[in-house]
Amino acid sequence: MTHAVTPPAPTSVPTGTTPVLEARGVFRFRTADGKQLPIVRDVSFSLRAGEFATIMGPSGSGKSTLLHLLAGLDKPSAGQVLLTGQDLGGGDEEYRAAIRRTRIGFIFQFFHLLPDLTVEENVTLPLRIAGENPKKHAARIDSLLQLLGVDKLRKRLPVALSGGEMQRVSIARALSTQPPLVLADEPTGNLSSKAGEEVVSLLRQVCTRLGSTILLVTHNPRDAAAGDRVLFLHDGALRDNQELTGGPFLVADVFSRLQELGI
């Protein structure tokens, strides 16, 4: 039996101008070979409501580490992460877990669906963990399953799904509590090119139709091209004034920017 923890009340009421997510001078150091090395270095940026942003960077550039910090799964060594104006570092692990459960949806490379639960049970699990009765949200969950094209699969177990179907189910799960922020770590990394393209196009639709704010981390230029904005991470740092804005982009434009930046 899971006991719901009431999420802490926001310290400030978000307004139209409060960013959904804000990183302020975030650092993360790790110890390797007896030395303290910066894995994430002085990262600052903010995301507006309804933005679909991507962070690109080569393997080892710190993308997953940064995403974990933004999600409150890990604490910055210095700096702050604010979610709808509320400092994620302002409390203990229980406080961060309560925020994560209701205000952040996660999409992982390897789906992380529970094998013994049906599609529908997996999708509504975050609601039940948050102490909600899924029946009260039935109409919304139905339209979510339809939007993701998995409504006919609702009674199936994950073992009977393709990779693309599993990822679409995990997107529906990430959205089930209507979180202000959705974070995705390489959501197409384990999919065929075609299934990956479908998943990214669905994320685009989710952003447009539901007004979700999405931050997707990837090293795939095609995924990044679907976003409104691309930030480039090198050795744990975002370089000033190098982001692409005004997307969706042509994949060729993302490629040429990567070449200009030498990454």
Ligand X SMILES: Nc1ncnc2c1ncn2[C@@H]1O[C@H](COP(=O)(O)OP(=O)(O)OP(=O)(O)O)[C@@H](O)[C@H]1O
List residues near ligand X by CB under 6 A: 30, 32, 39, 57, 59-65, 219
178 forms part of the interface with Mg ion (CB under 5 A): no
The site partner of 187 among Mg ion, ligand X, none (C-beta below 5 to 8 Å per kind) is: none
109 forms part of the interface with Mg ion (CB under 5 A): no
- The continuous run of DSSP H or E covering 252 comes out as helix 251-261
The encoded tokens of residue 98 equal 């309560």
18 forms part of the interface with Mg ion (CB under 5 A): no
Cβ pair 6, 98 in contact under 8 A? yes
Q: How far apart are CA 186 and CA 217, in angstroms?
A: 6
- Which of 49/237 has CB closer to Mg ion? 237
- Which of 63/168 has CB closer to Mg ion? 63
Taking residues 24 to 63 in sequence order and writing x for each that binds Mg ion by CB under 5 A, - otherwise, the string is ---------------------------------------x
Tell me the closest approach of the beta carbon of residue 172 to ligand X, in angstroms: 24
- Which of 18/190 has CB closer to ligand X? 190
- Shortest Cβ contact with Mg ion: which residue? 64
Ramachandran class of 240: left when φ > 0, alpha when ψ lies in -120 to 50, beta otherwise: beta
Tell me the closest approach of the beta carbon of residue 137 to Mg ion, in angstroms: 32
Q: How far apart are CA 153 and CA 113, in angstroms?
A: 14
Q: How far apart are CA 26 and CA 84, in angstroms?
A: 17
Cβ pair 216, 223 in contact under 8 A? yes
- Which of 104/150 has CB closer to ligand X? 104
Q: Which residues pair with 244 in a beta bridge?
A: 230
Closest CA to 164 of 180, 149, 177, 175: 149
64 forms part of the interface with Mg ion (CB under 5 A): yes
Tell me the closest approach of the beta carbon of residue 259 to ligand X, in angstroms: 19
Phi and psi angles of residue 53, each rounded to the nearest 5 degrees, phi first: -110, 150
- Which of 28/101 has CB closer to ligand X? 28
Judged by the rule CB under 5 A, the positions of this chain that interact with Mg ion are 63-64
